[in-house]
Amino acid sequence: MSQVMTAIGIGWGITWLAYASDYSRFVPRSVPRGRLFWAGALGQFVPVLWLGVLGASIATTGTGADPAVIIVQTFGALAVPVLLLVIHGPIATNILNVYSMSVSALALDIKIPRHVLTVIVGVLATVFTIYLVFAGSVAEQLDAWLVGVVAWVSPWAAIMLVHFYVIRRENIDIEALYQPSNESRVGDVNWAAMASLLVGLVMTWLFLYGLIPPLQGAAARAMNGLDLSWLAGMLSAGILYFALYKLGFVTRGGAPRRETAEPSRAGSTGA
């Protein structure tokens, strides 16, 4: 169970990195960056911290493993509003998930109405939830799911951070992102990023120690089950991507520089 809680603790913050741009675009430019950062960081950290402490404290008052039973035993008549608050948490979170899903579908140029996509995702999520409820070991299933998420999000996040803060220096060419790949300064595929992501995935698995043998890497087993997968994935992918940038395999645009013909200036010179 400690491995599951570690995956939840690390994965909780890292997995939200993919959603940042979905909501930061609604923030006025006049808002200071420091205030925006601390509002987001503390807004996530403080509730999770005190609820974690509260949950651990409540768990010591009961002998059962069912959280609902423990809440009823602890709060008595107040158990109903408490359970309603517990139900509200996943609903609020999934509202954000559904919105981000629709934004991702838009980026992929998927021609399906948003309300249809919402229904499809809702059905799939419901089926997956029912599967978890009736699974033999919820802990193992949850661990495998979180491992699958953190395994790619950690190296991906490192590559994104290096590209934005180090290579691009917080300056993104928005116009180039919407140009055809054969004309864009960004290019089509950033192979340096893909290679770094692949290496990060391998390193993540090597330092991973999940609940089932296929998710237990050699390095983690050698360290008696110490799971440093998220850290190994981030460091390896981030360092390799930066090294490839220094070696000239990636430009500030993202893809290797390609030779393009200079546009004709006959019209501007009057020739």
Least reliable range by pLDDT among 17-21, 86-90, 108-112? 17-21
Number of domains within the chain: 1
Instruction: Tell me how many degrees the CA angle 228-247-181 measures, rounded to the nearest 5.
Output: 90
Average pLDDT of the residues in 139-143: 67
Rounded to whole angstroms, the Cα distance separating 146 from 4 reads 8
Mean pLDDT in residue range 34-57 = 82
Residue 257 confidence (pLDDT) above 50: no
**21-26, long-range: CB within 8 Å, 24+ apart, which pairs?**
22/99, 22/100, 22/103, 23/96
- Residue 224, pLDDT above cutoff 70: yes
**What is the pLDDT at residue 254?**
53
Whether 162 is in a domain gets the answer yes
Mean pLDDT of the region 231-246: 94
Distance CA 196, CA 200 (A): 6
Helices (H) and strands (E) in the chain, counts: 12, 0
Of the two residues 240 and 251, the one the predictor is more confident about is 240
The three-state secondary structure class of 265 is coil
Q: Tell me the residue length of the chain.
A: 271
Query: Is 127 inside a domain boundary?
Result: no
Q: Is residue 231 part of a domain?
A: yes
Whether residue 111 lies inside any domain: the answer is no
**CA–CA separation, 43 and 50 (whole Å):** 12
Q: Decide if 172 is inside a domain.
A: yes
Task: Give the pLDDT mean for 148-159.
Answer: 85
Look at residue 246 and tell me whether its pLDDT is greater than 90: yes
User: How far apart, in whole angstroms, are the C-alpha atoms of residue 11 and residue 19?
Assistant: 13
**Cα separation of 27 and 263, whole Å?**
38
- pLDDT tens per residue, range 50-91: 877 887 787 777 666 667 777 778 888 888 888 888 788 788
C-alpha 17/C-alpha 107 separation (Å) is 17
Joined tokens for residue 228 = 């440093």
User: Residue 149 phi/psi, 5° resolution?
Assistant: -75, -50
- Global pTM reads 0.71
Are 214 and 220 in contact by the 8 Å Cβ rule? The answer is no
Whether residue 258 is predicted with pLDDT greater than 60 in this model: the reply is no
For residue 267, pLDDT beyond 50 = no
For tokens 């999770």, name the residue.
48
CA-nearest of 245, 113, 244, 255 to 179 is: 255
Across 86-90, 93-97, 235-239, the highest mean pLDDT is recorded for: 235-239
The more confidently predicted of residues 186 and 225 is 225
In order of 18, 56, 57, 102, 182, the CA distances from 108 in angstroms are 15, 42, 45, 10, 18
- Give me the pLDDT at residue 244, please: 95
Is the pLDDT confidence value at 99 over 60?
yes
25 within domain boundaries: no
Q: Residues with Cβ < 8 Å from 153, sequence gap 6 or more?
A: 11, 14, 15, 17, 18
Whether 178 maps to a domain, the answer reads yes
Binning pLDDT at 50, 70 and 90, where does residue 136 land? low
Residue 47 lies in a domain: no
The residue range of the domain holding 168 is 1-16+137-253
Alpha carbon distance 67, 59 (integer Å): 8
Q: What is the mean pLDDT of residues 19-47?
A: 83
**Highest-confidence segment of 7-11, 183-187, 196-200, 257-261:** 196-200
